[in-house]
Amino acid sequence: MPRRLTAGGAPPAKAGSALQRLLARLGLRRREDLLLHLPLRYEDATRITPIAEAAGVGSVQVEGEIVSCEVQFAPRRQLIARLADASGSLTLRFFSFYPSQQQVLAPGSRVRCLGEVRQGFLGVEMVHPRCRPVRDDTPLPQTLTPVYPTTAGLAQSALLKLIGRALAGPPLAEVLAPECRERLGLPTLWQALKTLHAPLPGDGLDALMARDHPAWCRVKLDELLAQQLSLRQAYLARREVGAPPLTGSGALAQALRARLPFALTGAQERAVAEILADLAQPHPMQRLLQGDVGSGKTLVAALAACQAIASGWQAAFMAPTEILAEQHYLKLKSWLEPLGVRLAWLTGSLKGRAKQAERGAARQADLVVGTHALIQDGVDFERLGLVIIDEQHRFGVQQRLALRQKGEMPHQLMMSATPIPRTLAMSYYADLDVSVLDELPPGRTPIRTRLVRDARREQVLDYVRRKVAEGRQVYWVCPLIEESESLQLQTALDTHAWLQAVLPGLAIGLVHGRLKAAEKQAVMAAFAAGETQVLVATTVIEVGVDVPNASLMVIEHAERFGLAQLHQLRGRVGRGSHASSCILLYAEPLSATAKARLKIIYTHSDGFEIARQDLRLRGPGEFVGSRQSGVPLLRYADLDKDADLVEIARQLAHDMLAEAPQQAALHLDRWLGGREELLKA
Ligand code: ADP
Ligand code: MG
């Protein structure tokens, strides 16, 4: 049965009758909305089971005469009735009830009760069955009874009636060609809706609840098709905008390659080729470069920047934190400055005249590196041709929008080390082209991950001493304390003091979010230069920091971190040629999910696999923060379980926009009616 989320982002209810307002709360305004409001489950009221055979067989309907009914007060207030038919009798038990229910259950009345019959304290009983008064000749319904998602104050019977009326109208127009439906083995949408709203007894409860039922598949495909259509439309609309074709000579890039002590990996070569092809187009590139931690995205970005610069345009490189931005700046400077490229670093923390000077320099530079301060308060680039956004998922939709609104639309390269499983990428980033770095540079040593109980931290200290004696360096990550930033800071200070006490003779640095930018830089520079052996850090080092000599990562209270975070943190080691390890300290007792997370990070090193498992654990909505992404939540389809349908929907959307745009418009209106603007981000 499809997972179901409430229709997110419905516009506020218009004034209208009370019923209309209730319906609007469920996003139900038009006939189509009612038809696409599908049951959560079904009840089978088409048959009557003799009481003697009703126990332990799941949900059943029994019919009989009430022989007694009374309110009991011990052990708590409850309504107890006794129902009998020719085969036997059972107890009906209600812990909350209305006087009207008491009337239905008056001794002597005939009722039908739907529910599960269980062995109770005093023989067989039904707890909170759905009871209906009947006469001897009341007919049985011909179809299974759907149970709809509803809202307080709106009865199932009212929804049933409204949806029944909608079903009695003319069939909805079909958007898929007959050959296409046949190839996929799917019914028409109208057939599917009729099956799901008013299934015949022969359709079988179990079959209807299965997610591969053809009727459900049809609905899920249509829902995914609407999503793909709207994303594809947004993508095409953006291609209408002009951007400078960056077709300059490859000499600068060639010079950079010649300076590198290594060759590009095959994956890097492929990504660079894809990017260069995009940059030569007269419309803006919208490309996402995905690659696991350490796969070498920075170099790919640098080569893209070379292309922009060689074509006479400026490039901007943005990172989510100052530490990261500075690391990028230093790296890019060491690569590019000797080649005559003018670089500028924009901190965002300067004030007044210093800020003015910094901005002035940025206006002139070939390559500007900084945090999102770059897009926030007006740096007027003279000729901005390419924007590179590192750790794209850290930037909100708002920031991406702000960037696009900066006059001429530049080419955009977004980078992410949070690998997103393919189907998710196709949905949430269907409006982006994607390059994947699926290969790590050679010579990396695998990282050994160890789980260590907090109580045994003495052993960890011994290990740290040994590694430092071998000339290596160590990250020591403080626990994440989400509730309180000041508590988190205090923990970092405490950990630092403690390590200084227990590791005498070692130089121990401390970096956390409250330090001033210049202080942070000094601490990081000392660590990068090997002047400090141990770096105590809060999660500020989560992304992108690159110190190849650091080969040991200790993470305190690893059970408090998310999987993506743990993977990112672990990726800070294993960057050089030394055998590296990551020690995850955890405190007992562990919750079930914490245990599951630690097991995943312990068993897997591949970021894509970890992301897939994470998705399983958390569900897709939370995974990419879909509420912020503006993509409406799927009600029926599941991006993980219905991966095959996502592929089909993507192809269909592509063809439909090219060959049958009216059908596409009809379909979009049917599913998203008036909510498309949510997708524009
Ligand atoms: P990420 O994809 O996580 O941003 P980086 O760009 O920081 O990875 O690269 C990680 C390290 O690998 C850096 O030190 C970088 O210089 C190095 N590197 C990049 N490409 C290669 C390559 N083809 N061969 C060897 N080392 C490389
Ligand atoms: Mg990086």
Task: Give the pLDDT mean for 652-674.
Answer: 90
pLDDT computed for residue 664 by the predictor: 94
Q: For ligand 1, pick from 393, 546, 573 the residue to mutate: most ligand atoms within 8 Å of CB.
A: 546
Task: Give the pLDDT mean for 389-399.
Answer: 63
Phi, psi of 555 (to 5 degrees): -120, 120
Looking at the predicted structure, is the pLDDT value of residue 58 above 90?
A: no
Q: For ligand 1, pick from 299, 392, 418 the residue to mutate: most ligand atoms within 8 Å of CB.
A: 299
Q: Which ligand is nearest to the CA of 298?
A: 1
Of 467 and 153, which is predicted with more confidence? 467
Find where tokens 């439309």 sit: 233
Q: 126-140, 180-194, 408-422: which range is least confident on average?
A: 408-422
pLDDT computed for residue 547 by the predictor: 87
pLDDT computed for residue 153 by the predictor: 83
Looking at the predicted structure, is the pLDDT value of residue 428 above 70?
A: no
Helices (H), 203-242: 205-209, 214-239
- What are the pLDDT digits (tens) for 154-197? 888 899 999 999 999 999 999 999 999 999 999 999 999 999 99
Q: Would you say the CB of residue 290 lies under 6 angstroms from ligand 1?
A: no
pLDDT computed for residue 637 by the predictor: 87
Max Cα distance, the chain (Å): 98
pLDDT computed for residue 319 by the predictor: 86
| DSSP characters over 326-365 | HHHHHHHHHHHGGGT--EEEE-S---HHHHHHHHHHHHH-
Query: What dihedral do alpha carbons 14, 15, 21, 24 form, nearest 10°?
Result: -10
Q: Domains of the chain, with CATH numbers?
A: 47-140 (2.40.50.140), 251-437 (3.40.50.300), 447-604 (3.40.50.300)
Q: Where are the beta strands (DSSP E) in 13-56?
A: 41-43
Q: How far apart are CA 60 and CA 82, in angstroms?
A: 17
Find where tokens 């630092």 sit: 496
pLDDT band at 540 (very low <50, low <70, confident <90, very high): low
Of 136 and 340, which is predicted with more confidence? 340
Considering the chain, what is the average pLDDT of its residues? 85
Q: How far is the CA of 60 from the centre of ligand 2 (A)?
A: 59
Q: Would you say the CB of residue 549 lies under 6 angstroms from ligand 1?
A: no
Question: Which residue type sits at 613?
Answer: Q
Task: Give the pLDDT mean for 561-580.
Answer: 85
Looking at the predicted structure, is the pLDDT value of residue 317 above 50?
A: yes
Given the CA of residue 548, which atom of ligand 1 is nearest to it? 14
Helix, strand, or coil here: 275? Answer: helix
pLDDT band at 404 (very low <50, low <70, confident <90, very high): low
Q: Which ligand is nearest to the CA of 571?
A: 1
Query: How many alpha carbons lie under 13 Å from residue 458 in its C-beta half-sphere?
Result: 2
Q: Whose CA is nearest to atom 19 of ligand 1?
A: 296
Task: Give the pLDDT mean for 106-115.
Answer: 94
pLDDT computed for residue 487 by the predictor: 81
Helix axes 251-259, 322-336, angle to 10 degrees: 100
- What are the pLDDT digits (tens) for 486-528? 888 888 999 999 999 999 999 999 998 788 878 888 898 899 9
Q: How far is the CA of 390 from the centre of ligand 2 (A)?
A: 7
Task: Give the pLDDT mean for 533-543.
Answer: 79
Q: 42-51, 201-210, 326-335: which range is least confident on average?
A: 201-210
User: Which tokens belong to 123?
Assistant: 């023989």
pLDDT computed for residue 585 by the predictor: 95
Q: How far apart are CA 225 and CA 483, in angstroms?
A: 40
pLDDT computed for residue 267 by the predictor: 96
Q: How far is the CA of 191 from the centre of ligand 1 (A)?
A: 54
Q: Would you say the CB of residue 666 lies under 6 angstroms from ligand 1?
A: no
- What are the pLDDT digits (tens) for 326-368? 888 989 999 999 999 999 988 766 677 777 777 787 888 999 9
Of 9 and 77, which is predicted with more confidence? 77
Given the CA of residue 437, which atom of ligand 1 is nearest to it? 2
Beta 384-389 vs 314-318: how paired, if at all?
parallel
pLDDT band at 544 (very low <50, low <70, confident <90, very high): low
State percent of the chain over pLDDT 90: 48
Q: Would you say the CB of residue 436 lies under 6 angstroms from ligand 1?
A: no
Looking at residue 321, the DSSP 8-state letter turns out to be S
Looking at the predicted structure, is the pLDDT value of residue 397 above 60?
A: no
Q: Which residues contact 630 (CB under 8 A, 6 or more apart)?
A: 397, 678, 679, 680, 681
Q: Which residues contact 378 (CB under 8 A, 6 or more apart)?
A: none
User: Which tokens belong to 612?
Assistant: 């897939």
Q: Would you say the CB of residue 294 lies under 6 angstroms from ligand 1?
A: yes
Q: How far apart are CA 430 and CA 441, in angstroms?
A: 28
Given the CA of residue 264, which atom of ligand 1 is nearest to it? 23
Q: Whose CA is nearest to atom 23 of ligand 1?
A: 264
Q: How far is the CA of 639 from the centre of ligand 1 (A)?
A: 31
- What are the pLDDT digits (tens) for 576-630? 778 899 999 999 899 888 999 999 999 998 888 888 788 777 665 444 443 334 4
Q: Would you say the CB of residue 301 lies under 6 angstroms from ligand 1?
A: no
Task: Give the pLDDT mean for 253-267.
Answer: 95
pLDDT band at 400 (very low <50, low <70, confident <90, very high): low
pLDDT computed for residue 576 by the predictor: 78
pLDDT computed for residue 460 by the predictor: 96
